[in-house]
């Protein structure tokens, strides 16, 4: 008999997953860092700030006590990528030994690794997985059909997690290639920023299409160098997520790029994982001598080392070559 699913992080995505699983009848314990926020959600049955108009099912319990996540069947980690290592280290006694599924996308600035490597290092007794792919929290919360990749190197553990987390409208495809799934989810955010810059700067949809295509080539290049299966990048966690985030203003990374392209400010409270990822990957690409011009230019623009105009000129003046 299932003990239920725990979700660490009551932001938009964590709450949306709680709603989706709760609607399917799964007992869910949703942990919120702020006690007042947790009490308000438990009482009102809504996350009004992040997902207005959507109610929490009765099978979802909101708590601010991290110990309430202990002993459950699996834990979804819906915390920011750059905070993941510290969060797991602080709560190792609760999590180590439980199946842990990362729901964050990015590369750690500190370690240069993805979330499953961090899980394996901090909680070595846990089966480590990542849930990633083309999805907006609002769509999941509304019950719209969504397909995601669940990547876990342990095939048996991955199959158990797939069965636990799939619902009639949330379809999970299983993969053993955690590296490829992580890189797809992380790198598409960088290309989404670049695509937003292109549109924000008025360079047009044709330029955006070229940015997406050449960005996808960069994603595959790095994935191959790091031992991932390039086929993984052609699936939901790579190409699928890339298309979604480069073409919709629901994407925080795309909106961030739009603001950059227009010379506008952006809400500092909004987490933009692609910004940290661009810096981490640009550093990694330099160290391994991997050609990633778009990623390098995004990092340079973010760090103020290059203007958008200069970046555009540098990319367009690169030597001509075969595709």
**Count of alpha carbons within 13 angstroms of residue 2, beta-carbon side:** 18
Q: What is the three-class DSSP state of 131?
A: strand
Cβ contact 249:142 at 8 Å: no
Rounded distance between C-alpha atoms, residue 6 and residue 134, angstroms:
22
Tell me, yes or no, if 188 is annotated catalytic: yes
Residue 69: alpha-carbon gap to chain centroid: 22
Cβ neighbors of 127 (< 8 A, separation 6 or more) are 99, 100, 152, 154, 157, 161
Going edge to edge, which strands form the sheet with 170-175? Answer: 60-63, 28-31, 5-8, 74-77, 100-102, 128-132, 146-152, 170-175
Residue 26: alpha-carbon gap to chain centroid: 23
Rounded distance between C-alpha atoms, residue 46 and residue 38, angstroms:
10
Phi-psi region of 310 (alpha: psi -120 to 50; beta: other; left: phi over 0): alpha
Catalytic residue (choose from 188, 224, 269, 321): 188
Residues designated as active site: 188
């Amino acid at each position: 008999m299932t003990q239920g699913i725990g979700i660490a992080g009551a932001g938009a995505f964590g709450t949306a997953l709680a709603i989706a699983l709760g609607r399917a009848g799964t007992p869910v314990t949703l942990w919120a860092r702020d006690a007042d926020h947790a009490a308000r959600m438990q009482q009102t049955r809504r996350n009004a700030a992040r997902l207005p108009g959507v109610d929490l099912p009765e099978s979802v319990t909101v708590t601010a006590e991290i110990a309430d996540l202990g002993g459950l069947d699996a834990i979804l980690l819906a915390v920011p990528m750059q905070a993941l290592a510290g969060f797991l280290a602080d709560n190792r006694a609760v999590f180590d030994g439980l199946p842990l599924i990362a729901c964050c996308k990015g590369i750690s600035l500190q370690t240069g690794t993805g979330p499953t490597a961090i899980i394996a290092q901090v909680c070595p007794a846990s089966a480590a997985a990542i849930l990633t792919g083309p999805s907006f929290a609002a769509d999941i919360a509304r019950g719209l059909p969504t397909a995601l990749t669940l990547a876990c190197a342990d095939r048996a553990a991955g199959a158990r997690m797939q069965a636990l987390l799939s619902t009639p409208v949330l379809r999970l495809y299983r993969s053993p290639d955690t590296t490829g799934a992580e890189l797809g989810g992380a790198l598409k955010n960088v290309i989404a920023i670049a695509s937003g810059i292109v549109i924000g700067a008025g360079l047009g949809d044709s330029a955006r299409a070229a940015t997406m295509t050449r960005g996808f080539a960069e994603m595959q290049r790095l994935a191959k160098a790091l031992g991932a299966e390039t086929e993984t990048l052609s699936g939901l966690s790579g190409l699928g997520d890339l298309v979604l985030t480069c073409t919709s203003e629901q994407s925080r990374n795309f909106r961030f790029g739009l603001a950059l392209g227009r010379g506008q400010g952006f809400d500092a409270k909004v987490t933009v994982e692609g910004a940290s990822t661009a810096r981490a990957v640009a550093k990694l690409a330099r160290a391994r001598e991997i050609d990633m011009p778009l990623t390098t230019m995004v990092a340079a623009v973010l760090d103020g080392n290059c203007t958008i105009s200069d970046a555009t000129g540098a990319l367009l003046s690169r030597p001509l070559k075969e595709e």
